[in-house]
Amino acid sequence: MQSPRTPEDDSTWSDSETVTTASALELAAAIRSSRLTSRRAVQEHIATLRRRTDLGAVAEDRFEQALVEADDADRAVAAASATDSLPPLLGVPFTVKESIPVADMPYTGGLASRRGIRSSADAVAVARLRAAGAIVIAVTNTAELCLGIESYNAVYGRTGNPYDRSRVAGGSSGGEGSAVGAGGAPFGVGADTGGSIRIPAFFCGVFGHKPTPGLVPSTEQLPSLTEYSDTDTDPMETIGPLARRAEDLMPLLRIMADEELPDPTSVAFDGRPVIIPEQSTYLRPISADLVAARDRAAQVLADAGGEVRHVQLPALRRAAQFYLLELRRHAGHPVGELFNLFAESPYEGRRPAWVRAHSPQLKLAIIGDRIAGVVPDVAQRRIAAAADALATEINEAIGDGVLLHPPFPRVAPRHNGTLARPWLFGGAAVFNLLGLPVTQVPLGLDRRGLPLGTQIVGAPGNDHVTIAAAQEVERRLGGWVPPPA
């Protein structure tokens, strides 16, 4: 006869705030040891999302189904013996960007023409997390067609920042950033083709990781660069985690990638380059607060043995230009045609795509893409050559180390504050163009209570190095700061 698991002291979990600030790993360990029930973990996060409906983070919930699954998880724990192996994330709640398929949930990408369309199956990354025992509690809002720094569309409306509703949560995984940043989920799943994990993670004060391209299957997201192209995968397209604690990033990445990736704790920073780009932003310099925050993170890595080097990288100023032309090539279609391909309203086909788009951001993206399409071939070749030179320069500078650069020149702007300013996302999108892994790290709050942060960029395959740096910075500087209730 098997010995049942015996509950351990659960006094640590008597406070609901503890449940909604803990890491996914802490929650999973408490559930497996019967110190915390999955039902309570799920209920507390649902309560937070219900309390913060003002943020517009949730596109559609599955709260009732999640509670049923939580009860199933608790029964599995109760039935298991002390020697039984349970799934690593058993009973832990999470959220998913609406443009990534979750079975029986909406799958519109924020397009009004796709209203009512639901996914018939989970995306591979979502299926792997659910097989690991995690429970989806909601799908979250995104920018229309996932194109924009602000998460707004005609299907679900606008998402606000948990630290200040008058400010953006970022895009296109803005619902994820807002839900995780508000304490409504210990982690979430986002997609990043041009900063769409890192910018929301930055604005909402949490961790986000853009994996090395190809590590996590990503072709099921909407829109996918590979959907209508001749390639099986695209180096600019990724799916990855957002989390309120850095310790969750590598375990989540391993599950989503289904690979045994190197352990961040094996990383030593002795002698590793820590690169600080100079003269790297276009038109608007990085704010003094963000420069100071980045430098504090660099000092943490220097104290751990890293060698801080300031490198002139003025070509980064043209990052948005490089990225937009390359995005058009990778997609195989202009943005307006992508809109038509994914939309489900053929009767509107005679109207220009930019007229049928609802959000100002998507309208401007379609118009801007048409303008980019008339750039002479000779100019495109020169821009491509400059982008290649930048890639070589950055790869040589990073080596086996890291590069620190904010994903945006300012803290979260007010709603509509990014319209007609496509260059602002260049500091994030350039690393999609270069195919590099990046971990977004929160660095406390500014004097207005808005999150600060920086990207930690590594060489391809060095996801464990950027995550190790994030963990060291969190250990020294504190990481995510829960927003006011």
Residue 205 and residue 448: Cα distance in Å, rounded? 13
Cβ proximity of 115 and 155 under 8 Å = yes
Which one-letter DSSP state was computed for residue 229? S
- Is 196 known to be catalytic? yes
The question of whether 345 is a catalytic residue gets the answer: no
Q: How would you label 179-198 residue by residue, b for 16+ Cβ within 10 Å and e otherwise?
A: bbbbbbbbbbbbbbbbbbbb
d(C-alpha 162, C-alpha 178), whole Å: 6
Question: Are 110 and 98 within 8 A, CB to CB?
Answer: yes
Catalytic residue, from 38, 97, 210, 280: name it. 97
Whether residue 22 contacts residue 247, with contact meaning beta carbons closer than 8 Å, is answered with: no
CA dihedral for 410, 416, 421, 427, sign (positive or negative): positive
Note the maximum CA span of the chain. Answer: 77
Q: Which of 23, 113, 119, 172 is catalytic?
A: 172
Q: Which of 341, 320, 334 is nearest to 374 (CA)?
A: 334
Cα 72 to Cα 54, 187, 277: the distances in Å are: 31, 21, 50
Q: Which of 113, 151, 173, 196 is catalytic?
A: 196
224 is catalytic: no
CA 276 to chain CA mean position, Å:
23
Write out the catalytic residue numbers.
97, 172, 196
